C-alpha cells in the first residue's frame, strides 16, 4: 500500500467503475496512484446489479459507437488481467444477447443491420437474425417468430468487478482511501456529484433494478420490453432498469420497479417462480450528450474528468481507463471529440 509520504503521480477522485479503471490503467504503467472516495468503493451507480455490456446497433456509425466497439472487444483480455493480478472474479463473460422482433419491418431492418455488422464489427462479432424456435425455452416471445442474436454483448457482475479492480490496484501498490490529499495529476470520476456541480442538465437519472435467484449462468442476455435481463455466473439474474428524470427519493424503489418485475416475468416466465433477493435504486450520471465526458476538466483548471457513463459505463471502462492514462501520463490525446467536456 502507498503511504501519504510517498510520491503520488495520480490522484483519482471517485471509486466507481470509471475511477477505478483510470487508476488501474495508470498503475499498470508504473504510476503511484491514490484513489479517494469518502463513501467507499462502488457507493454510487457503479454499485448496481445489472451489468449488461450491450453494444449500440451497427448502423449510423459515429465515434461513440466506434469507441464502444473497441472497448467491448478488448474487455475479455482486460478483465482477465484484472482477475490474474488481484485474484478476484469480475464475473465477465461474452454470452451474447437475444432480442425479439415484432413484425416484418423489424425483421427487414435487423437483416440490414446484420450486413452492416459484417463490416463495422470487423468480423469479430456477429449480429444475425435467427428463428425463435432455434433458441429453445430461453427464447423470449417474438410475434414475428424471429430474434436478433448478437455475439458482442457481454455481462459483468458490477460489485464483483469493482472488488476485483480494487484487489488488482492494491497488488500494484495503489492506495484506496476515504480521505487524503490530492497530489500529482488529479482525475475527477465522481459521477452525479461532479456533473451536478457543473450544472449539467439531467445529470442524475434514477434507475431501479431487481435481482432474482435463478441459475442460468451460461444463457444469453435478453433485451425485450425495453428491459435487460442478465444471467450472472453466481446463480442470479438481474433485471433493469427504469430511467427516471424526476423522482422523490433517489435510493428507494417503488411501483415503477414492480412494473419492471412484472414485464420481466412476462418475457421470461421462469422468473415467476424465482425469489427476488434484492431491489436496487440509484442515480446514474448522464451527460447532456449521453456520451462519456473525458479529458480536461471544464471547471477545474489543470485537472481531468472521467464521467458520464450513463448505462454504458462498464462497457466503456476498459478503453476509458487506457485513453485517460495515455493523456495523463504520456500526453497522448486519443479522446474522441464528442467526448470532450
Q: Provide the pLDDT for residue 202.
A: 82
Among 81, 83, 50, smallest CA distance to 153 is for: 50
Angle at 291 between CA 40 and CA 229, to 5 degrees: 70
Give 21-38 as a DSSP string.
HHHHHHHHTT--EEEE-T
pLDDT band (50, 70, 90) for residue 232: very high
CA–CA separation, 322 vs 24, rounded Å?
9
Asked whether the bond before 241 is cis by omega within 30 degrees of 0, the reply is: yes
- Strand positions, DSSP E, the chain: 10-13, 33-36, 52-53, 97-100, 127-131, 146-150, 154-155, 175-177, 185-188, 204-213, 221-224, 227-231, 236-240, 276-285, 293-296, 304-307
104 has pLDDT over 80: yes
Count the alpha carbons within 13 Å of 110 in the hemisphere toward its beta carbon. 22
CA 335 to chain centre: 18
Q: Is the pLDDT of residue 4 over 70?
A: no
Q: Which three cell numbers stand for residue 49?
A: 446489479
Sign, CA torsion 214/217/223/226: positive
Residue 5 has pLDDT above 60, yes or no: no
The CA-atom distances, in angstroms, between 154 and each of 21, 92, 99, 243 are: 18, 7, 14, 21
Which residues are paired to 119 by β-bridges? none
Q: Which three cell numbers stand for residue 181?
A: 490529499
Asked if 4 contacts 181 with a C-beta cutoff of 8 angstroms, the reply is: yes
Residues 85-104 as b/e (b if ≥16 CB within 10 A, e otherwise) read: bbebbbbbbbbbbbbbbeee
Q: Which CATH class is domain 204-285?
A: alpha beta
pLDDT at residue 6, as a whole number: 62
Mean pLDDT, residues 194-221 taken together: 94
DSSP code at position 291: S
Q: How confident is the model at residue 47 (pLDDT cuts 50, 70, 90)?
A: very high
Residue that the C-alpha cell 419491418 belongs to:
105
Mean pLDDT across the stretch 201-224?
95
- Beta strands 221-224 and 52-53, pairing class: unpaired
How far apart CA 141 and CA 150 sit, in angstroms, is 17
pLDDT tens-digit map of 276-323:
999 999 999 999 888 999 999 999 999 999 999 999 999 999 999 999
Question: The whole model's pTM is what?
Answer: 0.95
Phi and psi at residue 116, in whole multiples of 5°? -60, -40
**Over the stretch 161-175, which tens digit does the pLDDT of each residue have?**
999 999 999 999 999
What CATH number should be reported for the domain whose range is 10-96+152-200+288-339? 3.50.50.60
Residues 64-81, mean pLDDT to the nearest whole number: 97
* Whole-angstrom distance, CA of residue 105 vs CA of residue 176: 52
- In whole numbers, what is the pLDDT of the chain averaged over residues? 95
Q: Comparing 10-96+152-200+288-339 with 204-285, is the CATH topology the same?
A: no
Contact status, residue 280 vs residue 312, Cβ threshold 8 Å: no
Write down the pLDDT at residue 192. 95
Interval 8-34: pLDDT, tens: 999 999 999 999 999 999 999 999 999
d(CA 106, CA 143): 11
pLDDT tens-digit profile of 114-171?
999 999 999 999 999 999 999 999 999 999 999 999 999 999 999 999 999 999 999 9
Query: What is the percent of the chain where pLDDT is above 90?
Result: 94
DSSP assignments along 166-212, one per residue: HHHHHHTT-EEESS----SEEEE--THHHHHHTT-TT-EEEEEEEEE
- What pLDDT is attached to residue 205? 96
Residue 237: closest CA among 138, 134, 128: 138
Domains of the chain, residue spans: 10-96+152-200+288-339, 204-285
Distance in angstroms (rounded) separating the CA atoms of residues 294 and 67: 12
CA distance 67 to 207: 24
Mean pLDDT check: name the lowest of 108-112, 132-136, 151-155, 327-331.
132-136
Amino acid at each position: 500500500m502507498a503511504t501519504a509520504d510517498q510520491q503520488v503521480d495520480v490522484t483519482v477522485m471517485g471509486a466507481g467503475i470509471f475511477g477505478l479503471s483510470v487508476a488501474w490503467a495508470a498503475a499498470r504503467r508504473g504510476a503511484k496512484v491514490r484513489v479517494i472516495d469518502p463513501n467507499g468503493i462502488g457507493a454510487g451507480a457503479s454499485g448496481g446489479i445489472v451489468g449488461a455490456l450491450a453494444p449500440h446497433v451497427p448502423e449510423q456509425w459515429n465515434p461513440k459507437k466506434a469507441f464502444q466497439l473497441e472497448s467491448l472487444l478488448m474487455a475479455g483480455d482486460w478483465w482477465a488481467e484484472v482477475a490474474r493480478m488481484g485474484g478476484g472474479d469480475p464475473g465477465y463473460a461474452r454470452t451474447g444477447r437475444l432480442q425479439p422482433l415484432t413484425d416484418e419491418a423489424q425483421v427487414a431492418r435487423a437483416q440490414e443491420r446484420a450486413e452492416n455488422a459484417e463490416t463495422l464489427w470487423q468480423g469479430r462479432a456477429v449480429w444475425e437474425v435467427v428463428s425463435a424456435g432455434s433458441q429453445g425455452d430461453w427464447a423470449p416471445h417474438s410475434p414475428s417468430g424471429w430474434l436478433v442474436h448478437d455475439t458482442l454483448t457481454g455481462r459483468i457482475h458490477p460489485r464483483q468487478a469493482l472488488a476485483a479492480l480494487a484487489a488488482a490496484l492494491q497488488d500494484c501498490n495503489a492506495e484506496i482511501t476515504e480521505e487524503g490529499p490530492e497530489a500529482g495529476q488529479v482525475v475527477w470520476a465522481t459521477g452525479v456529484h461532479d456533473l451536478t456541480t457543473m450544472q449539467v442538465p439531467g445529470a442524475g437519472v434514477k434507475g431501479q433494478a431487481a435481482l432474482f435467484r435463478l441459475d442460468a449462468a451460461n444463457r444469453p442476455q435478453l433485451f425485450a420490453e425495453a428491459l435487460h435481463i442478465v444471467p450472472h455466473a453466481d446463480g442470479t439474474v438481474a433485471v433493469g432498469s427504469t430511467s427516471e428524470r424526476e423522482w422523490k427519493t433517489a435510493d428507494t424503489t417503488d411501483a415503477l420497479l414492480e412494473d419492471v418485475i412484472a414485464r420481466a416475468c412476462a418475457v421470461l416466465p421462469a422468473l415467476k417462480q424465482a425469489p427476488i433477493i434484492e431491489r436496487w435504486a440509484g442515480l446514474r450520471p448522464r451527460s447532456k450528450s449521453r456520451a462519456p465526458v473525458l479529458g480536461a476538466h471544464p471547471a477545474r483548471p489543470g485537472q481531468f474528468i472521467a464521467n458520464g457513463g450513463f448505462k454504458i459505463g462498464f462497457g466503456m471502462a476498459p478503453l476509458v481507463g487506457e485513453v485517460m492514462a495515455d493523456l495523463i501520463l504520456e500526453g497522448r490525446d486519443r479522446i474522441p471529440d464528442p467526448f470532450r467536456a
